[in-house]
Amino acid sequence: MILAALDALLQDATAGDPVKGTQWTRKMLRTLCAALVAQGFSTTSPMTVRRLLQGRGYRQRVNRKRLTKDHNAHRDRQIRYLTRKRRAFLKADDPVLSVDTKKKELVGNFRNEGVTWRQGPLEVMETAFPSDAEGKAIPYGIYDVGRNHGFVVVGTAHETAEFAVAAIRRWWQGIGRPVYA
């Protein structure tokens, strides 16, 4: 009986690969569980729904990055050059940095993912509109490959080349110079 109810919930939210026979759904376990409880299956939990889905051939899937554009010899040559430089710098105990900008976050009294232990709920805004924010935080990550050490600089203005240079300069002055100079 619960399987028929689950199948009905999945009917319009299922996709799959007919060649491989794999199926997936866009609905979350908690959503399916709540819908089953609303239909009278009161002892249903997300773990129960997971087992039922697995029994029906559903599996958790993630996208695989396998598709590429046409082969580009110039790109391969550039990557090989950078790989040689990276190895030489590491062998000489010179700094090798990997840098990237992380997801921008609104600054304010907004809901964040995750949980904390507290005696009562923290009251936050219902919505997270940029117009309600006190500002925007732009985390810039710097990873020292040779030392396996990360460093994050958080800016509040704009993500620019000047910001990147300032972040690397701050890393060099505070961490890099004492270690490498």
Write the CB contacts of 155 (distance below 8 Å, at least 6 apart in sequence).
137, 138, 140, 163, 166, 167
Confidence of residue 114 (pLDDT cuts 50, 70, 90): confident
- Region 170-177: mean pLDDT is 96
Q: What pLDDT sits at residue 102?
A: 81
- Region 54-81: mean pLDDT is 79
Tell whether 68 is covered by a domain: no
Tell whether 158 is covered by a domain: yes
36, amino acid identity = L
Tell whether 118 is covered by a domain: yes
Range of 125's domain?
94-180
- Region 5-11: mean pLDDT is 89
The better pLDDT of the pair 63, 149 is held by: 149
- Domain tally for the chain? 2
Write the CB contacts of 44 (distance below 8 Å, at least 6 apart in sequence).
2, 33, 36, 37
* Terminal Cα distance for the chain, rounded: 71
User: Rounded to the nearest 10 degrees, how much is the dihedral formed by the CA atoms of 28, 32, 37, 41?
Assistant: -130
